[in-house]
């Protein structure tokens, strides 16, 4: 979807939704205890908050469905070959691995809270050590959506400037195969298409961005920076923004 044609009007006439209660953020997901990087300021309008859906996160980030099919194939091959002992071993190992991955997905979803305000995106993430990441919207140059069914999806954000965020800091909340310039990703969020539109419209206060509401190609890129062919977006590309070296912040809680 091309937003450049209406960016000027959006920046002046857009009516953002009513803000959410700031106090409610401390009762939903990991707490920030007033830390400025993880807590919206009093003059910030909180437009949306949410977290990943556990089952979808398990399938897409921890690949439980793929691994389940793999172990099922091993069991079938073992049974066809008359190796019931090997089939039992594969069943036990597969069940244990899938249970562990579902547990990790549950812990990841439970320890995650995404917060969108009228000036930035806050990510409270971290299963072992809670990290709070502050992404000013003026640094976002593009928002890409991959739908996952049932109105859920992933939203990856391209950022201006030099690499400021690490893979270890972000995982699993990052776009796959983008290790040289990691792209923060809102994983398995509900009403994803509406949220992607809201991010683009809010970002339009700082100028238009490209928004791809068709697909994200997660194929491994040859350069390590960009995924394979992404569905084309009509209109001009947004001009490069000047990097704010203090704009991206992430620190353990």
245 assigned to some structural domain: no
248 assigned to some structural domain: no
pLDDT of 224 strictly over 50:
no
CB 159 within 8 A of CB 135: yes
CATH, residue 161: 2.30.29.30
For the record, the structure tokens of 29 come out as: 């997901």
**Statement to judge: residues 122 and 91 lie in one domain:** no
pLDDT digits (tens, 9 = 90+) for 159-183: 887 656 777 788 899 988 887 788 8
Q: Taking residues 219-235, report their average pLDDT.
A: 38
**Statement to judge: residues 96 and 119 lie in one domain:** no
Q: Which of 52-56, 86-90, 149-153 has the lowest mean pLDDT?
A: 149-153
Q: Which of 34-48, 72-86, 131-145, 154-168 has the lowest mean pLDDT?
A: 154-168
pLDDT of 117 strictly over 90:
yes
**Statement to judge: residues 44 and 77 lie in one domain:** no
* Three-class DSSP labels, 89-117: HHHHHHHHHHHHHHHHHHHHHHCCEEEEE
pLDDT digits (tens, 9 = 90+) for 17-69: 667 777 777 666 777 776 777 888 888 899 999 999 999 999 999 999 999 99
Q: How confident is the model at residue 70 (pLDDT cuts 50, 70, 90)?
A: very high
**Statement to judge: residues 40 and 67 lie in one domain:** no
**Statement to judge: residues 101 and 38 lie in one domain:** no
Residue 48 sits at φ, ψ, to 5 deg, of -160, 150
226 assigned to some structural domain: yes
**Statement to judge: residues 140 and 121 lie in one domain:** yes
pLDDT of 231 strictly over 70:
no
Alpha helices for the chain (secondary structure H): 7-13, 54-60, 64-80, 84-110, 167-170, 192-203
252 assigned to some structural domain: no
- CA–CA distance, 55 with 105 (Å, rounded to integer): 8
**Statement to judge: residues 142 and 221 lie in one domain:** yes
Tokens 């991010």 belong to residue: 199
Q: How confident is the model at residue 187 (pLDDT cuts 50, 70, 90)?
A: very high
**Statement to judge: residues 158 and 210 lie in one domain:** yes
214 assigned to some structural domain: yes
* Residue range(s) defining the domain that contains residue 25: 4-52+112-240
Task: Give whole-number Cα distances, 240 to 70, 140, 142, in Å.
Answer: 44, 10, 11
Of the two residues 18 and 127, the one the predictor is more confident about is: 127
**Statement to judge: residues 220 and 178 lie in one domain:** yes
The closest alpha carbon to 110, from 180, 71, 54, belongs to 54
The DSSP code for 137 is G
- CA–CA distance, 113 with 127 (Å, rounded to integer): 12
Domain boundary among 89, 108, 127: 108
In percent, the amount of the chain with pLDDT more than 70 equals: 71
Sign of CA dihedral 27, 33, 35, 40: positive
**Statement to judge: residues 173 and 74 lie in one domain:** no
185 assigned to some structural domain: yes
92 assigned to some structural domain: yes
**Statement to judge: residues 188 and 68 lie in one domain:** no
* C-alpha distance across the termini of the chain, in Å: 37
Q: How confident is the model at residue 223 (pLDDT cuts 50, 70, 90)?
A: very low
Summary mean pLDDT of the chain = 77
Of the two residues 186 and 235, the one the predictor is more confident about is: 186
CB 50 within 8 A of CB 121: no
* Domains identified in the chain, total number: 2
């Amino acid at each position: 979807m091309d937003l450049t044609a209406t960016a000027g009007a959006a920046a002046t006439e857009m009516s953002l939704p009513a803000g959410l209660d700031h106090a409610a953020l401390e009762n939903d997901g990991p707490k920030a205890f007033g830390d400025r990087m993880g807590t919206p300021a009093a003059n910030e309008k909180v437009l949306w908050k949410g977290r990943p859906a556990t089952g979808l996160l398990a399938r897409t980030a921890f690949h439980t469905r793929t691994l389940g099919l793999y172990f099922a194939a091993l069991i079938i091959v073992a049974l066809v070959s008359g190796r019931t002992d090997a089939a039992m071993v594969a069943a036990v190992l597969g069940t244990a691995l899938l249970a562990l991955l579902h547990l990790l997905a549950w812990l990841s979803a439970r320890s995650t809270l995404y917060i969108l305000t009228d000036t930035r995106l806050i990510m409270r993430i971290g299963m072992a050590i809670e990290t709070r990441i502050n992404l000013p919207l003026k640094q976002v140059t593009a928002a890409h959506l991959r739908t996952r069914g049932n109105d859920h999806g992933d939203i990856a954000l391209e950022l201006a400037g030099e690499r400021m965020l690490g893979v270890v800091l972000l995982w699993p909340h990052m776009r796959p195969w983008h290790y040289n310039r990691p792209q923060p990703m809102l994983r398995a969020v509900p009403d994803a298409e509406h949220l992607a539109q809201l991010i683009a419209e809010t970002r339009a206060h700082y100028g238009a961005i490209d928004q791809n509401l068709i697909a994200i190609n997660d194929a491994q890129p040859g350069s390590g920076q960009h995924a394979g062919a992404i569905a084309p977006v009509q209109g001009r590309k947004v001009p490069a923004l000047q990097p704010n070296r203090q704009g991206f912040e992430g620190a353990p809680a």
